Amino acid sequence: MNYDEILEMMEELIDNSSAVPFSGKKMIDCDQMRTYIDTLRLNMPGEIKQAKELQSQKENILAEANAEAKKIRAQADEYVEETKKKADEMVKETEITRQAKEYAVELISNARKEADEIMAQANADADKTIADAEEKDAQIKRALTDTINNTLAEARAILQRNVDAVTQTMEAFERLNPEPAEEEEAPDFDDD
């Protein structure tokens, strides 16, 4: 049972409650209303579970982004190793060796720069996804808290109106049917 269904049952309880005579008020079954409020509290974990699922999805996205970044970094390292091997094979003379080393350094630098850019982009994407998930989680919590607070405030107001109506009815009844004054006892004049 979700909290919308529980709120509908609370509304039905109010709508189907008996009217208080001589007023526009209604009497509600307080025990039943408390049962609905307790049920509403018990069903809160479902909403919390949804927020935890969002958290889990966020963590999965971050893990995938990190795994992809590591994979790209590994590919870049393999590329660097291949480049070094090719450079070593090209070494025959001093000039060729120098040029090969420069070329290898340039390739390594470019590969690392590209890997760093990809890693930075993956981290930025992961941060955005995390921020979006946290905002959604916060929205769900705010909406749920507002709904519960509004429902409890309405229930308190209804209970207070009913107590006031019963008090007014009792006072009206007492005014219409005053209790007779007790007879005063005659003083006792026993001799001591």
The domain segmentation of the chain, as residue ranges, is: 3-164
Which helix (H) or strand (E) element contains residue 80? helix 44-90
Q: And the tokens for 107?
A: 């390739």
Residue pLDDT tens, the chain, 192 long: 777 888 898 899 888 988 888 888 888 888 999 998 888 888 776 666 777 788 888 888 988 888 988 999 899 888 888 888 876 777 666 777 778 788 888 889 888 888 889 988 988 888 888 888 788 888 888 888 888 888 888 888 888 888 888 898 888 888 888 776 565 555 565 655
User: What is the residue type of 127?
Assistant: D
pLDDT of residue 115: 87
Strands 18-19 and 26-27: antiparallel
Give pTM, 2 decimals.
Answer: 0.33
- Cα separation values, 153 from 26, 159, 160, Å: 17, 10, 10
pLDDT of residue 153: 84
pLDDT of residue 191: 59
Name the CA radius of gyration of the chain, rounded.
Answer: 39
User: What is the residue type of 104?
Assistant: A
